[in-house]
């Protein structure tokens, strides 16, 4: 026959295990909810970033079209009208590539 002390010890052990399991289940549930919310927020942010990329690509395409249209309009006469002129002497920029180790 089991003594009262052994029975009490077993009951306390079961209560601790039950409390531990309930706490673990709550912790895992909260972790799951947090991860699901983060996944949804990341998906929404990715969608908005993709839309921003599409808008930027449209703007780039429009700017490229404008550039090509304006590029065909540029001529020497146009440049002279806007203050450009021919240079008398060409000057080139060079870099000294003579490197020495000390």
Distance (Å, rounded) from C-alpha 35 to C-alpha 88?
70
pLDDT single digits (tens) 23-80 = 999 999 999 999 999 999 999 999 999 999 999 999 999 999 999 988 888 888 888 8
Stronger pLDDT, 26 or 6, i.e. the higher one: 26
More confident residue, 81 or 42: 42
Expressed in angstroms, the distance from the first to the final Cα of the chain is: 93
Query: Could you tell me which of 64, 15, 61, 25 has the C-alpha nearest to residue 7?
Result: 15
pLDDT of residue 20: 96
Residues 53 and 66: their CA atoms lie apart, in Å, by 20
Whether pTM exceeds 0.95: no
In a 3-state reduction of DSSP, which class is residue 94?
coil
Task: Report residue 2's pLDDT band, with 50, 70 and 90 as the boundaries.
Answer: low
């Amino acid at each position: 026959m089991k003594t009262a002390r052994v029975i009490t010890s077993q009951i306390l052990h079961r209560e601790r295990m039950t409390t531990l399991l309930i706490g673990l289940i709550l912790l895992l549930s909260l972790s799951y909810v947090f991860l699901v919310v983060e996944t949804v927020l990341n998906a929404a942010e990715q969608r908005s970033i993709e839309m921003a990329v599409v808008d930027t690509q449209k703007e780039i395409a429009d700017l490229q079209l404008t550039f090509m249209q304006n590029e065909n309009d540029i001529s020497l006469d146009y440049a002279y009208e806007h203050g450009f002129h021919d240079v008398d002497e060409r000057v080139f920029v060079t870099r000294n590539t003579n490197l020495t180790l000390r």
